[in-house]
Amino acid sequence: MSEPRIGVSVVTMGDRPQQVEALLASVAMQDVRPSRVVVVGNGSPLPGYDAFPGLTDLAGGVTVLELDENLGCPGGRNEALEALAGFGDVDVVIELDDDGLLVDKDVFRTVRDLYAADPRLGIVGFRIADEHGETQRRHVPRLRAKDPMRPGPVTAFLGGGHALSMKMLAETGLWPAEFFFTHEETDLSWRALDADWKILYEPGLLLQHPKTSPARHAVYYRMTARNRVWLARRNLPALLVPLYLGTWILLTAARTRSATGLRAWAAGFAEGVRTECGERKPMRWRTVWRMTRLGRPPVI
């Protein structure tokens, strides 16, 4: 396979201008040049990133898209992906959180070489660590998460820093925009695996990112529950839907210490049951077995 061409996508709500500038500077320092860089203002105007220093040699400089409304993380990413697909000169897109930072200069080179070596590689997940080098357990995409430096095939990836094959996306479809926030990565992962694409966790690809909790978002509990129900209804064989949801009801009841949070979670669960979830396309049982062999059956 010839060397794939790299595109970059960053979605921001315009409230982290200094972090976005630092991130774009880390993109500019990579020793493999991207073909395109797209920055999406998710319901927010943006400063002049189109003439960002170090990236003005790209075709048209940095492409800036200012959306009239906040479409959520997956919706904003879809806008960037559609723009990149329209340019026709990107084979792999690297999506980065707006408050992340690429520390090493060879990230794009490593991504390029991984995709060049394997035409069925669909998704590459980066390792996320804070400024002290610590990776939170929830950021390791496997059940046995004690060693964040163990690479290999997985069934999930991290939304903060990853690479996606454009050829894969043409087959699986883009992000589930209706999810708005949480579990969109799982939905895309399951669709990729069911289409026989590979997901690789490569901890040598580091995105430095502040330590955070997803519960910092006011909609966390409601959307977490709603989207889990949608995820199951969209993707799982009928037999596994109650097993998956029952497991998460028990885990949530055991883990959640906030009565307010539990009420919001229950309301979100009910919303997920009664509302439209998008097209249902249950994965094959062979995909279930493949995920089980990789250590994460789709009931956890």
Give the per-residue SS3 of the chain.
Answer: CCCCCEEEEEEECCCCHHHHHHHHHHHHCCCCCCCEEEEEECCCCCCCHHHCCCCCCCCCCCEEEECCCCCHHHHHHHHHHHHHHHHCCCCEEEEEECCCEECCCCHHHHHHHHHHHCCCEEEEEEEEECCCCCCCHHHCCCCCCCCCCCCEECCCCCCCEEEEEHHHHHHHCCCCHHHCCCCHHHHHHHHHHHCCCEEEEEEEEEEECCCCCHHHCCCHHHHHHHHHHHHHHHHCCHHHHHHHHHHHHHHHHHHCCCHHHHHHHHHHHHHHHHCCCCCCCCCCHHHHHHHHHCCCCCCC
Contact present, 231 and 189 (Cβ < 8 Å): no
Which pLDDT belongs to residue 300? 81
Contact criterion met (CB below 8 Å) for 129 and 156: no
Q: How do strand 6-12 and strand 36-41 relate by DSSP bridges?
A: parallel
pLDDT at 69: 97
Question: What's the pLDDT score for residue 254?
Answer: 93
Mean pLDDT of 249-255: 93
Confidence of residue 173 (pLDDT cuts 50, 70, 90): very high
What is the dotted CATH code of the domain comprising 6-212?
A: 3.90.550.10
Q: Binning pLDDT at 50, 70 and 90, where does residue 219 land?
A: confident
Write down the pLDDT at residue 215.
Answer: 56
Please give the pLDDT value at position 224.
95
Quick one: pLDDT band at residue 212, thresholds 50, 70, 90?
Answer: confident
For range 50-64, the mean pLDDT: 92
Least confident of 143-147, 197-201, 242-246, 285-289: 143-147
pLDDT for 146 beyond 90: no
pLDDT at residue 145, as a whole number = 77
Task: Output the pLDDT for position 232.
Answer: 98
Average pLDDT, the chain: 95
pLDDT band at 218 (very low <50, low <70, confident <90, very high): low
| Residues above pLDDT 70, as percent of the chain | 98
Which pLDDT does position 170 carry in this prediction? 98
Residue 198 pLDDT: 98
When pLDDT is averaged across residues 189-216 and rounded to a whole number, the result is 91
Residue range 230-251: mean pLDDT, rounded: 97
Least confident of 104-113, 120-129, 185-194, 206-215: 206-215
pTM of the model: 0.95
pLDDT band at 217 (very low <50, low <70, confident <90, very high): low
pLDDT at 59 over 90: no
153 confidence band (pLDDT: 50, 70, 90): very high
Q: Given a cut of 90, is residue 144 above it in pLDDT?
A: no
Q: What is the mean pLDDT of residues 244-251?
A: 96
